Each structure stands twice: as C-alpha cells, then as structure tokens.
Structure 1
Amino acid sequence: MPDLKIIEGVLSDRGSKYAVSGGPVTSRAEADALVKALKRKKKFAKATHNTWAVLLPDGPLKADDGESGAGMVIVRMLERVGLENHVVIVTRWFGGTKLGGDRFRHVQSAVRSYFDELGIDLQGD
C-alpha cells in the first residue's frame, strides 16, 4: 500500500464537505496508483470529485475529475512551496448547492491544511 496521508473533515460549506490526501510519487503511474488506493475506501469512491495534482521533473500533472480548474489551483500551490514528487488530492462531496468561485478558495484551504500537516509553510500567508 502506498504511503497515503488522509485528512478528513477539512471544511464544509453549504452541504459540501472536503478532505485532502496525498503522498510521495515519482511517476504518473504512481500518482494514478495513489488515487486508486484512495478510491478503494468506499467513502472516497462515492465522492463527487477527487481532484489531484503533482509536480514531476518533466512537468506538472493534474486531473480535475469534473471540478473544472481545481487541478490547476493545486499545481500553483505545489509550485509556490516547491513540493515535487508528491501528489495532493482534494476530495469534495457535493452538498446540493453550487459554491461558485468559493470552491477554488476551498481547494486552496484544503491544500493549505495538507501543507500544515506536512510542516510546510506557505510564504506570504
């Protein structure tokens, strides 16, 4: 089993709930395997979105999983702290009310919680 850290209950807004997960990877195949391992947990398999991103030596990879633009939010945050070879997955369970632009702030908050857990300081925050 890959080294997968999961932080549940990061935040909720208008019924939508968020979690954040991640772990070290060195390739697209390893990133896919980590996302797949997360989705083996029934709760995460039933999530509306499992958005993820990773910075690899040959460039960033991301998947929005239906949450358009969210993967790029994660990429930018990874670039900002220089965290490479580590996939970060933001999970959202849709609560029935559209969040508009707030959903991007929530993705940022979830990634920030993950960085806090890893002891990574976001400069300028």
Structure 2
Amino acid sequence: MDRLGVVLTDRGSRYAVTGARVASRAEVDAVLAELKTDRAYAKATHNTWAAMLPAGGLKADDGESGAGMVILRMMEREGLKDHVIIVTRWYGGKKLGGDRFRRVQDAVRAYLGHLSGNTG
C-alpha cells in the first residue's frame, strides 16, 4: 500500500491519497481496513475510492457524492488496472461546491505521478 498522506488543502479541508495493487473486491476491502487502522483515516469525513479489477471497475463515494466516478474515470483514462485509489478528505468547515471534484482529481493526479516516478 502506498500512502502519500496529505497532498493538498483547500479552505480547511485536507486531502490525502492512497493506492495499492489489488485483484479482487476482497483485496480492496483489506486495503480499506488496513488504511482505517490509522485512527486519522478511520475518523476522516470521506474515504472515497475506485478500483479497476479484472472483473471491471468498482467505486464507492463514502458520502462524497460522485467522487468515486471521478476517480474511476481517471483510472480508465490512465489505463491503470488491478489497482485501488482512495482519496481521503477531512472536512474543513467550508463547502467547496464543484471544487471538491477538482481536489479529488488533484489528489489522484498526485498518486498517478507518484506511480510513474516508481517505474523501477
């Protein structure tokens, strides 16, 4: 599991991104469970995620409506397979409106950039 930690903030909300190689829904659930053993992640407002598995794409918004689809579409465009990406948000007290999707995209881009830097 690659946990990049907090990669950006916007109006008090903090965003972190985590990812891992997975091949099944059970492995996705195991990664989520492992992430939530960290109390900060367990108490986060949202742990939105998407996964590209051999059987197809899965997503969960965890209360951040539409965010799972944003992650899934980015993974599809990137051609990233057998992977889960989790974007964690700690709500900062101010609604971000449509900017929340841009922050999710920014977090996913940070993870994809991290992956491309680890080609070895």
TM-score bracket for the superposition, by shorter chain length: over 0.9
Correspondence 1:38 to 2:35: yes
Separation of aligned partners in 2, 1:8 and 1:82 = 24
Aligned residue pairs total 117
Give the deviation of 1:47 after TM superposition: 0.3
Separation of aligned partners in 1, 2:55 and 2:10 = 36
Indicate the residue corresponding to 2:108 in structure 1: 111
Indicate the residue corresponding to 1:70 in structure 2: 67
Q: Single out whichever of 109-118 and 56-65 deviates more from structure 2.
A: 56-65
Q: Counterpart of 2:74 in structure 1: which amino acid?
A: M
Indicate the residue corresponding to 1:84 in structure 2: 81
Give the deviation of 1:8 after TM superposition: 1.4
Separation of aligned partners in 2, 1:51 and 1:82 = 20
TM norm structure 2: 0.95
TM norm structure 1: 0.91
The DSSP-based 3-state class of the residue aligned with 2:23 is coil
Q: Counterpart of 2:95 in structure 1: which amino acid?
A: K
Separation of aligned partners in 2, 1:98 and 1:86 = 30
**Superposed CA RMSD:** 0.8
Give the deviation of 1:58 after TM superposition: 1.7
Give the deviation of 1:95 after TM superposition: 0.3
Correspondence 1:52 to 2:49: yes
